[in-house]
Amino acid sequence: MKLPHIDLKELKRLKEENFKERLKFIDWYTNWLKKSSNKTWSSQQKKIIN
Amino acid sequence: MEYKYTKERIELEKELNTLDEFVLSFTAILNKLNLNYVIVSGYVSILFGRNRSSEDVDIILEKITLAQFEIMWNELNKLFECIITENVKDAYNDYLTTGCAIRFSKKGEAIPNIEIKFPKTELDIWTLNNKKEILLNRNHLFISPLELQIPFKLFLGSEKDIEDARFLYNLFKDKLNKALLLEFNRKLNIDEVFNRYLT
């Protein structure tokens, strides 16, 4: 089986970009959370956690 | 998000998820026995709406005697079981008093579980003495003060921890004791991490 070439620098860069995007999402999500009623956010959280 | 934030406590009403219910069923027993404890793990961010789960919830329990521990053990064993050892004296002598944690799950289940340890450092003792009271749907529980929880998450430093720290900071930055937070940043040597990810 021929394995793909792995560019570790590229993977590291993609990992860092992914992390930055998740941090941006946290900013978006916390803004949404602040504006949402407790019933709205906690019922959505319940669906994910349960 | 509606909550009431004072220096002593945060009051919050939410639709409880299974992890909240699990934690409340455990802390109700600690409360009933008037034990001094504090939740220090990622559950703190989940409590306030972070959308992730956790396989364990870390609790620091003030050092108690074997006799007190046996009472706690017997109360917990009505609903929970210790998944590290079945023997109460081993749990106390071989684990807790030697600095190791023990874990309790609901009977017959492994996940989620509560990891309990006695305080090992001055920081653990400070956390116990300065815990924040939470009134969650009128149930009492105690968490690490956010001015420590946020810097400590940054100190731990995994991507998940940094995300938890950013989440809590975004939510509560207007309420926090900034001087205390910055002092913990300094003591934990994470000023640079704080400036990179939280400002």
Q: What is the pLDDT of residues B19-62, one digit of tens each?
A: 999 999 999 999 999 999 999 989 999 999 999 889 999 999 99
Q: How far apart are CA B110 and CA B103, in angstroms?
A: 9
Q: What are the residue ranges of CATH 3.30.460 in chain B?
A: 10-144
Of A19, A29, A46, the CB nearest to B17: A46
ipTM field = 0.91
pLDDT at res. B199: 87
Q: How far apart are CA B51 and CA A41, in angstroms?
A: 10
Are the beta carbons of B166 and A29 separated by less than 8 Å?
A: no
Put simply, whether B95 touches A (Cβ < 8 Å) is no
Q: How far is B78 from chain A (nearest CA, A)?
A: 23
pLDDT at res. B60: 98
Are the beta carbons of B14 and A27 separated by less than 8 Å?
A: no
Burial B119-128 (b: 16+ CB within 10 A, else e): beeebbeebb
Mean per-residue pLDDT for A4-13? Answer: 95
How many beta carbons lie within 10 A of that of residue A24, not counting itself?
10
Put simply, whether A28 touches B (Cβ < 8 Å) is no
Share of chain A above pLDDT 90, in %: 98
Q: How far is B55 from chain A (nearest CA, A)?
A: 11
The neighbouring-strand residues paired with B133 are: B9, B142
Burial B143-158 (b: 16+ CB within 10 A, else e): bbbbbbbbbbbbbeee
Which residues of A are less than 8 Å from B2 in CB distance?
A: 37-38
The architecture that CATH gives domain B10-144 is 2-Layer Sandwich (3.30)
Taking CA–CA distances from B2, the nearest residue in chain A reads A38
Q: How far apart are CA A8 and CA B100, in angstroms?
A: 38
**By 3-state DSSP, what share of chain A in percent is helix, strand and coil, each rounded to 5?**
80, 0, 20
Q: How far apart are CA B94 and CA B71, in angstroms?
A: 18
Pick out chain B residues at pLDDT < 50.
none
Strands B9-12 and B132-136: parallel
Q: How far is B120 from chain A (nearest CA, A)?
A: 31
